Amino acid sequence: MVESRIALIRAPNPSPLTLTGTNSYIIDCGNGEAICIDPGPPIESHVEALLAHCERIRCTIIWIALTHGHPDHAPAAALLRERTSAHIAAHEKSGVTHDRSLRDGDTVGAGDVALQAVAAPGHSADHVVFYEPRERALFTGDTVLGEGYVLITPPDGDMRAYMQTLSRLSREFAETRTIFGGHGEPVREPAVKLEEYLEHRRARERQIIDALSGGSKTVSDLVASIYAQTDRALWPAAAQQVLAYLDALEREGRIRSDRAQAPPVYTLS
């Protein structure tokens, strides 16, 4: 239990990308009903752990709310739905089978809990975060994690949309007391975390522009220059991040690409 009525139940799927595993959350709605956020990967023992928790708190899950459709967050929704007859709520663009399509500003509620859905594109196009005003809790999925940074993989991932999402969260949800991310531990200083996340992105973007003006021309040049101190095993992921920045800068006319060349060559406008 991390808050009086919010439980974090971690799935047994640790990996470099999922950290210690995917965080599933069960919110006790105070009337014998519960909402599950991100039931996680399709691991039977994890679904059992979610159900066992509900039995302990004498609640039935009536809503399964998905932050996004990635395979470490969403597939257990179908298993849990079979066991509980709960309804699945997900972003209107979600490719995951769901009963209710969420738009920005919609609420998913039961008892005295009303989760506000906030469209949060960036990590994926179908990402939403949920704000629970009573506990001032922000459930951020893979938009903000308890540790490390988020992977933005184009074309579904969009770096500029992601930075705009972070800015919006820091502006509109400044009263948040705790961020409950999709991986890692709860974040007790949300404003500091959001500013750190934004500054990390701005700094990386400046590094890319500096490297381009210093003679780097391709994604591999940029990765070799910017991630020189990083384990080479992580360079393929780094290349995806660099590409996400380049896509954003090119859309804004700040750089140009020549894709007739292999690999494509990038220059400042």
Shortest CB 173 distance to Zn ion, Å: 20
Cβ nearer to Zn ion, comparing 182 with 190: 182
Angle between helices 235-251 and 190-213 (to 10 degrees): 80
Shortest CB 130 distance to Zn ion, Å: 15
Size of the site for Zn ion (CB under 5 A): 2
Cβ nearer to Zn ion, comparing 5 with 183: 183
Shortest CB 123 distance to Zn ion, Å: 6
Shortest CB 72 distance to Zn ion, Å: 7
One-letter amino acid for residue 18 of the chain = T
Cβ nearer to Zn ion, comparing 127 with 160: 127
Burial 46-76 (b: 16+ CB within 10 A, else e): bbebbbebbeeeebebbbbbbbbbbebbbbb
Cβ nearer to Zn ion, comparing 66 with 243: 66
Q: Tell me the C-alpha distance between 91 and 112, whole Å.
A: 23
> What's 254's DSSP letter?
S
Q: Tell me the C-alpha distance between 125 and 46, whole Å.
A: 27
Cβ nearer to Zn ion, comparing 33 with 38: 38
Burial 166-187 (b: 16+ CB within 10 A, else e): beebbeebeebebbbbbbbebb
**Choices 68-76, 187-195, 199-207, 257-265 (CB under 5 A): range interacting with Zn ion:** 68-76
Cβ contacts of residue 167 below 8 Å, gap of 6+? 198
Please tell me whether residue 126 binds Zn ion under the rule CB under 5 A.
no
Cβ nearer to Zn ion, comparing 8 with 265: 8
Cβ nearer to Zn ion, comparing 69 with 186: 69
Q: Tell me the C-alpha distance between 82 and 87, whole Å.
A: 10
Shortest CB 68 distance to Zn ion, Å: 6
Q: Is the peptide bond before 190 cis (omega within 30 degrees of 0)?
A: no
**Choices 39-47, 139-147, 172-180, 221-229 (CB under 5 A): range interacting with Zn ion:** 139-147
Interface residue with Zn ion, options 53, 70, 81, 201 (CB under 5 A): 70
Interface residue with Zn ion, options 132, 142, 205, 247 (CB under 5 A): 142
Q: Tell me the C-alpha distance between 74 and 90, whole Å.
A: 10
Write down how long the chain is.
Answer: 269
- Tell me the per-residue interface mask from 12 to 51 with Zn ion, x by CB under 5 A, - otherwise: ----------------------------------------
For Zn ion, the binding residues (CB under 5 A) are 70, 142
